[in-house]
Amino acid sequence: MASLRSATPKLRNYFRDNYIPQICEALLCGLLVTCPEDPLRYLEHMIIVIIQNGLENLLWDMCIDPSLKPKIRRLSETYLEQLFGLDDQLVTPELMIKACTFYTGRLVKNHFGGWREVAIPRANQEAILAEKMDRAITHDNFRCQKVFFYHWLSYVITCRERLIVSLLRLRQMFCVQRQKIILAKWKEKARHKSKTREDELILKHELQLRKWKLKSKVPEEKLLSPERSSSDTAAAAAPVEFDVSALPEQAIMQIFLYLSFRDTIMCGQVNRSWMAMTQRGFLWNAIDFSTTKNIADKCVVSTLQRWRLTVLRLNFRGCLFRTKTLKAVSHCKNLQELNVSDCQSLTDESMRHISEGCPGVLYLNLSNTTITNRTMRLLPRYFHNLQNLSLAYCRKFTDKGLQYLNLGNGCHKLIYLDLSGCTQISVQGFRNIASSCTGIMHLTINDMPTLTDNCVKVLVEKCPRISTVVFIGSPHLSDCAFKALSSCNLKKIRFEGNKRITDACFKYIDKNYPGINHIYMVDCKALTDSSLKSMSVLKQLTVLNLTNCVSCPNLHYLSLRNCEHLTDLAIECISGMLSLVSVDLSGTLISNESLNILSRHRKLRELSLSECANITDIGIRAYCKTSLFLEHLDISYCRQLSDDIIKTVAIFCTHITSLNIAGCPKITDGGLETLSAKCHYLHILDISGCILLTDQILQDLQMGCKQLRILKMRFCRSISVAAAHRMSSVVQHQEYSSDDPPSWFGYDSEGNPLEETQSRIQTRNYSELIVKESFSSDEESPDANLI
């Protein structure tokens, strides 16, 4: 074998290329394992098998019977390569012996060294232990010093903080005391200045009143002479001729825009000039057929055909036109707004013609019509830009019709959707809406008792841009609806008549809707004071409809009319709302103390105190002294007030433009004389039921209040018909009657109070009084007339 290692390369390559080692190995392994009786025949047979299978597929166990093959791991390609010297392995047996000898020696050395260190003690063990002890003592001393230092540091910091707190407290006490002294001096000076200013105003008022009385001595004939009145009446009655067509185009546009469809047609028949004016295109941008009754279908069709390129807005609300007439809407190619609500003649066929001819519609109102799923299929197919859709009280379409909204381009631009009264819609229907109308911002669903929290949740999941929700008449909604809406940026919510909404809903509003500005939650019985406390952080709130008071920085108008349980504490909260400009406290039980508290506001422009029986002249005076810019004051039906309040208003509120003292029987001519002398900007005055006023006040008003436009003096028996007639030529609108005050005024014709039960027979709403018949005929009452 050694000779083969030193053989020539040619011989070695011959052995390797002809697989000689592999053939010998396979035959030798077969002989060793099988041990055949006739080895030569066995070798002959195996050589034939090897030739048939090919040398490429030769394996060392090919000549062994499968049942006798040993289960051993194969170490190399062949065992005979080493025997023949054909293996080029680096690890030879000699090298393996050296490696094992080296590894054994290394193990012995390592283990012997470790055993020696453990078994044989060191000579300097004591020195090592002493060194370790010193090291441990040093470490322990350092640790103790560190702990002591930390304790000392915390003590120093605590003492320093206490010292700082004490110094701050002393500084605060000093500042508070100094502020008290400054405020006391300022208050004293302010009181003195206010007293001085009040005395100056009173003195100025007395001087002006004295001059006024000197001027008022002018004979009545020069002010309101019958001759002058008759001449003025004749001049006013004389017709003034002018040509409307001579006005500027903008003025003509504003005049004709107020005309209805029928009036515009009639104006076009006056003359050629008027007909030319009615033919201007801007007058036909918006046509309202709902205000015109009994109009012929032919007229509607001809109008739509003539102005088909000009019409932008059409209103057919409640019209009973034929189906053919409604089809004429398809001629208006530029139509943007269409209202066909309450049109019972509207059919799916009509909507097909409209949708094919008017693809640019942005606003579509189909409420209370008989449309079906056929119309719902047309909406996404033709109205690609639809933004406002009302399907209120349309009960003939189904959930499948709502699914059609997602066909084609869909109604993905829809912003406003009204589904009020559509009780046939199920949860699946709302799911269809959410899938097709993902951009909805304003959602109105009124009068739907079937609406549940789950429906709201389904809508909100795919419509996160909702900012306005109106759910009036949905009693099954609860706080879970607010929780579902927490993912939306709500600006306006409207609920009414819901008993399942509790204070928890306002917690969601507080946390998730900081920018909300409109809250309307009426008849929600489960709400308590906790809700009002939660709303105190809503800085953007401008409209609030609740039954109590809350701090709202942006609230401008607040009405607490007829809140009988309102107390002075609520008025104190109102005085802190500096954004308020108008407050209505009519019919409440507030007292003079409330007016004294409200006087701190100083920025109110309008105040209504009608039917407040507990206020007196003192309270009105306390309020008016600080409200120099008050413009509107309503103290009607406060029977306890006297002329002092008129004097107070005349002295301090000289900028007042509207004053209502109806139902105040103690007001006399002296009070109105003072008002006329000082309040020159007065536009509206109501003195109805002031039974002590005479004709003299009309002279004073004419001379002092030259800007007076509206004068109401019903139930004024001491004012004559002739004086009222003369005054009617001075003001733009006047109401007058000399009847006795009605029983609900609370007093008789002499000013004597009536029984409480009798004074409350009728409602005290003065607006109803204006609606009543204003004029009394001469046959019924010769002494009562309305000029």
User: What single string gives the DSSP state of each residue in 547-606?
Assistant: SS----TT--EEE-TT-TT--HHHHHHHHT-TT--EEE-TT----HHHHHHHTTT---SE
| pLDDT tens-digit map of 466-506 | 888 888 888 888 888 888 887 788 888 888 877 788 878 87
E-strand ranges in 677-750 read 684-686, 710-713, 733-736
pLDDT at residue 168, as a whole number: 92
- Residue 4 corresponds to which tokens in the numbers above? 């083969």
pLDDT above 50 (res 759): no
CA 720 – CA 723 distance, rounded (Å) = 5
Rounded to an integer, the average pLDDT of 279-295 is: 80
pLDDT above 80 (res 74): no
pLDDT at residue 163, as a whole number: 93
pLDDT at residue 211, as a whole number: 74
| pLDDT tens-digit map of 572-602 | 878 878 888 999 999 998 999 999 999 888 8
pLDDT at residue 221, as a whole number: 43
pLDDT at residue 109, as a whole number: 84
Q: Which pTM was predicted?
A: 0.45
- The CA distances from residue 753 to 93, 477, 640, 691, in Å, are 138, 50, 10, 13
- Residue 183 corresponds to which tokens in the numbers above? 């405020």
Q: Based on the number of CB atoms within 10 Å of its own CB, is 437 exposed (0-12), middle (13-18) or buried (19 or more)? A: buried
Q: Does residue 413 or residue 632 have the better pLDDT?
A: 632
**Which candidate, 322, 650, 331, places its Cα nearest to that of 314?**
331
- What are the backbone dihedrals phi and psi of residue 660, each rounded to the nearest 5 degrees, phi first? -120, 110
Average pLDDT across the chain, whole number: 80
pLDDT at residue 242, as a whole number: 54
Give the pLDDT band of residue 72 (cuts 50, 70, 90): low
**Which candidate, 767, 766, 768, 770, places its Cα nearest to that of 786?**
770
CA 279 – CA 262 distance, rounded (Å) = 14
**Lowest mean pLDDT across 95-109, 270-284, 296-310, 546-560:** 546-560
pLDDT at residue 224, as a whole number: 42
| pLDDT tens-digit map of 346-403 | 888 888 888 888 888 999 999 999 889 898 888 888 888 888 999 999 988 988 888 8
Residue 294 CB contacts under 8 Å (≥ 6 apart), including other chains: none
Give the pLDDT band of residue 636 (cuts 50, 70, 90): very high
**Which candidate, 386, 374, 383, 377, places its Cα nearest to that of 407?**
377
CA 521 – CA 273 distance, rounded (Å) = 54
pLDDT above 90 (res 244): no
CB 614 within 8 A of CB 639: no
pLDDT at residue 146, as a whole number: 92
Query: Would you give the DSSP letter of residue 782?
Result: T
| pLDDT tens-digit map of 180-239 | 999 889 888 888 887 787 777 777 777 777 776 676 665 444 444 444 444 444 444 444
* 3-state SS, residue 287: strand
pLDDT at residue 52, as a whole number: 87
| pLDDT tens-digit map of 683-710 | 999 999 999 999 989 988 888 888 999 9
pLDDT above 50 (res 437): yes
For CA atoms 530, 531, 535, 537, give the dihedral sign: positive
pLDDT at residue 667, as a whole number: 92
CA 462 – CA 433 distance, rounded (Å) = 9
CB 350 within 8 A of CB 327: yes
Query: Would you give the DSSP letter of residue 745?
Result: G
CB 743 within 8 A of CB 723: no
**Lowest mean pLDDT across 105-114, 353-362, 639-648, 694-703:** 105-114
pLDDT at residue 551, as a whole number: 61
C-alpha dihedral (514, 519, 525, 531), degrees to nearest 10: 30
**Which candidate, 622, 628, 638, places its Cα nearest to that of 690?**
638
Give the pLDDT band of residue 84 (cuts 50, 70, 90): low
pLDDT at residue 619, as a whole number: 92
Rounded to an integer, the average pLDDT of 69-77 is: 55
pLDDT at residue 120, as a whole number: 65
- Residue 66 corresponds to which tokens in the numbers above? 């499968």
**Lowest mean pLDDT across 113-127, 439-453, 734-748:** 113-127
pLDDT at residue 173, as a whole number: 92
**Lowest mean pLDDT across 226-230, 263-267, 335-339, 533-537:** 226-230
pLDDT at residue 217, as a whole number: 60
CB 678 within 8 A of CB 208: yes
CA 294 – CA 433 distance, rounded (Å) = 39
Rounded to an integer, the average pLDDT of 249-266 is: 79
- Residue 85 corresponds to which tokens in the numbers above? 């010297």
Question: Over pLDDT 90: what percentage of the chain?
Answer: 18
- Residue 448 corresponds to which tokens in the numbers above? 């739907």
Give the pLDDT band of residue 80 (cuts 50, 70, 90): low
pLDDT at residue 124, as a whole number: 66
pLDDT at residue 164, as a whole number: 93
